[in-house]
Amino acid sequence: MEAPLTVAFDVARALGRPWPVPLEEVVSVRPFHDVYAVGPGRGWRRLTHSRRFTATGAGTLVEEQVDWATALPGPLGRVVDPLLRRRVRRAMTVHLDGYAAAAARRALDVVQVVGAALVDGDRVLVAQRSSGPYDGCWEFPGGKVEPEEEELAALVREIGEELGVAVVPQAFLGEVVLDGVVAGGLPGASTLRVWSARVETGSEVTAHEHSELRWLTADELESLDWIPADRPLLPAVRALLGRR
Ligand SMILES: Nc1nc2c([nH]c(=O)n2[C@H]2C[C@H](O)[C@@H](COP(=O)(O)OP(=O)(O)OP(=O)(O)O)O2)c(=O)[nH]1
């Protein structure tokens, strides 16, 4: 769905289950996966509902899986099972439609951040913040997506403002949760989505808002004082530069 990871996860939790059977939480790792199950004695021998949330260039991929075993003996179970399967599938479809609509509405309230890993040969551009709570930390240049703005249009606009160059976005690299408050929103509501990009030929980057810019090789990335939220993105950037 076209919503960041945290929105997809939080809305799924708030909407609850697609059926009235009460389920207990088994494990929940925000915003990546959650698993619920029902134990014996409620007409089901076992039912588990798992959801996995994965960041993609198009938004969040939500995978839902329902596993069950009925308490009915062999032949009866074999008759009931396909009926049950159809009902579960129907309930899931209705649930997912409502869920996608709710997530799209909720996404409008979240200020999203987008960043660029600008690549030139075997180097990537990193930028040092010059003010605010992360003053002195290194980051991927970029900024907040404006209301109604497309994510990649925001990326191109922000890089133009910050570095004075036109860029062409290439591939989606990953998404991380920003624990802090972004633009007065709820803590942990926003995420940073990073795309690789290249600078249009012939242009030179200039630091209009950062205190310093550096073009680094894969091996130089780790030692910087990064904004902590960005660190999980470094393996994807290393891979982009051809290093594991
Ligand atoms: N650009 C960028 N922002 C990041 C990164 N990591 C990270 O936690 N952030 C946070 C810091 C800020 O809270 C927020 C981005 O805000 P910003 O101040 O850069 O956005 P902006 O350019 O739209 O700023 P402004 O016009 O509101 O001053 O995201 C990163 O790698 N790049």
**Contact indicator for 28, 35 with CB cutoff of 8 Å:** yes
Exposed/middle/buried for residue 30 (C-beta within 10 Å: 0-12, 13-18, 19+): middle
CATH label of the domain that carries residue 27: 3.30.310
11 and 121 housed in the same domain: no
Among 107, 136, 156, give the residue marking a domain's end. 107
- Number of structural domains found in the chain: 2
pLDDT at 40 over 70: no
Give the pair of three-digit tokens for residue 184: 């007065």
Q: What is the pLDDT of residue 116?
A: 98
Residue the block writes with tokens 């596993």: 67
pLDDT tens figures, 148-207: 999 999 999 999 999 999 999 999 999 999 998 899 999 999 999 999 999 998 789 999
Confidence of residue 42 (pLDDT cuts 50, 70, 90): low
pLDDT at 227 over 90: yes
Other Cβ atoms within 10 Å of 85 Cβ, number: 12
Question: What residues flank ligand 1, with Cβ below 6 Å?
Answer: 113, 115, 134, 139-140, 142-144, 158, 178, 180, 182, 192, 227, 229-230
89 and 131 housed in the same domain: no
Among 72, 107, 142, give the residue marking a domain's end. 107
Residue closest by Cα to atom 13 of ligand 1: 182
Q: What is the pLDDT of residue 39?
A: 72
Residue closest by Cα to atom 21 of ligand 1: 143
Residue numbers of the domain that contains 138:
113-240
pLDDT tens figures, 57-107: 999 999 999 988 877 788 888 888 888 889 889 999 999 999 999 999 999
Taking the complete model, does pTM exceed 0.90, yes or no? yes
